[in-house]
Structure 1
Amino acid sequence: MSLPTGRVRSTQAPAAEEDERPRRSDARQRRSALLAAVGTLIAERGTEFPLAEAAERAGISTATAYRNFSDTGSAVDAYFADLMGDLLEAFDGLPVGDDPLADIRVLCHEWVAQATRWGAAAVHMRSPRGLLARRNMEDPFIGALYDRLARLVETAMTRGRIPQQDVRFAVLMWVTIFDERVVVDLTGTLGWSEKTAADHLTEALLRTFGVPPAVLPRAIYG
């Protein structure tokens, strides 16, 4: 006696799903490898390179690259979208303590850690508009970044850890001091360690906020 149609489907569906999962995982890995190659090429010479070259760097076929992205521009956009998403996700994963200045320091160190990895590529994608103008234009990433930084500034002011000030200016200075070009210059050109760069940039930021300077160890030059 044959099984009912519904029983046949229920026994076959899990197998089909099990077959599909490795394919989806492989596709994600190929996409990640392709975007990593895109980031390397951007860091080396900017955004003008053929998608086929990125595919070769990633060890995948050109056809696979074009199944993921229509052209180099869309791959570059995806690389930076992932980068910005990872940065915000890293910020959201940081612990929140009782001292807002300590929280600011932790975020600053995470920012430098992130920028050390992708800063050499990010310097090639600069908007001609300023942070506040882009926020007013409702740029989704800038808006999300601004909100996270502004909350920390407002909390520090509310708790009396920094003087009252214009939050917009404070956030603008924060983004300016932690510009990826600055991080690349400190860690690459000067040869500072990631921690030394983060310590000094953080203290520069806090002094901008009106916090008395801390005593820092001498930077080690390469």
Structure 2
Amino acid sequence: MPVNARSDAQRSRVLLVEAVRSLLQAGRVGFSIPELAAEAGVGVATAYRHFPTPQDAMRAFHGRAIELLLEAFSQIDAEYPPPGDHRTPSVAADPIERFHRFCAAWVDQAMQWGAAVRYVRSSAGFIERLSDGDEAITAMHDILADVLESLARAGKTTEFDVTYAVLLWITIFDERVVYDLAEHRHWKPADITDHLTRAVAGALDITI
């Protein structure tokens, strides 16, 4: 495929995924591919080439939301000096600070896409998808597990089943919880972050 054609295809896919978010946020859960194409401003044939069914489009949107969350986590971890680097580490190098920053980034991301993602649910559980080798779920598990294991090494929490601990963290920070608190309790992001962070800390006996 020529470079320009690939670029056009990538641009169309981005537009379609963003259109999924717009439609779901507007409550148009039962949209069709022609409706998605119209929302994205692309041709119907182009939309079908990317997403044969609305379910395919919604899965792609959900996958992109997870990617954005993982990118936000990676940006936090980018502040850590690499092994052998003797520069003064940033404040994020403290495991408690890292935990807090992950929680804040999570709420920030959920405020952006949570209203739409709450309509996209998998019938499979988190651990089931992890066992099946789901790449996005595995990446999410591994980075959160590293945060929790760092806390344990620093003596900030007791030993635990790390996968169970990650499951609890994900459950408490579910986008539907963030959406509920923001839209129906009118809490500010900082308040949501504080309460949910304390809930995870309490559930996992983390000293914060």
TM-score, normalized by the shorter chain, greater than 0.5: yes
1:197 maps to which residue?
Answer: 192
Distance 2:103 2:29 in 1: 28
Unaligned runs of 5+ in 2: 81-91
1:5 maps to which residue?
Answer: none
- Verify: 1:69 aligned to 2:48, yes or no: no
* Contact 2:21–2:116 (8 Å) recurs in 1: yes
Distance 1:176 1:44 in 2: 25
Name the larger-Rg structure. 1
Q: Which amino acid aligns with 2:39?
A: R
Identify which of 197, 206, 220 aligns with 2:201: 206
Q: Which amino acid aligns with 2:98?
A: D
1:19-63 deviation digits (Å, cap 9, x = unpaired): x54x65454333322211112223333642111111112222323
The TM-score with structure 2 as length reference comes to 0.83
Distance 2:13 2:121 in 1: 24
2:162 maps to which residue?
Answer: 167
Q: Residues 98 and 88 of structure 1: is their aligned pair in 2 closer, same or farther, counting only changes over 3 Å?
A: closer
Q: Residues 150 and 128 of structure 1: is their aligned pair in 2 closer, same or farther, counting only changes over 3 Å?
A: same
Distance 1:157 1:164 in 2: 7
Q: Which amino acid aligns with 1:115?
A: A
The TM-score with structure 1 as length reference comes to 0.78
Distance 1:133 1:25 in 2: 35
Amino-acid identity (%): 37
Q: Residues 138 and 47 of structure 1: is their aligned pair in 2 closer, same or farther, counting only changes over 3 Å?
A: farther
Q: Which amino acid aligns with 2:133?
A: E
* Contact 1:47–1:76 (8 Å) recurs in 2: no
- Verify: 1:93 aligned to 2:93, yes or no: no
Displacement of 1:209 after TM fit? 2.2
1:64-108 deviation digits (Å, cap 9, x = unpaired): 323433232322222222222222222112134331111011011
* Contact 2:70–2:140 (8 Å) recurs in 1: yes
Distance 1:53 1:168 in 2: 40
RMSD: 2.1
2:85 maps to which residue?
Answer: none
1:31 maps to which residue?
Answer: 13
Q: Residues 153 and 194 of structure 1: is their aligned pair in 2 closer, same or farther, counting only changes over 3 Å?
A: same
1:132 maps to which residue?
Answer: 127
Q: Residues 191 and 164 of structure 1: is their aligned pair in 2 closer, same or farther, counting only changes over 3 Å?
A: same
* Contact 2:37–2:47 (8 Å) recurs in 1: yes
Q: Which amino acid aligns with 2:95?
A: P
Distance 1:129 1:35 in 2: 22
Unaligned runs of 5+ in 1: 1-16, 214-222
1:43 maps to which residue?
Answer: 25
2:181 maps to which residue?
Answer: 186
1:53 maps to which residue?
Answer: 35
Q: Which amino acid aligns with 1:69?
A: F
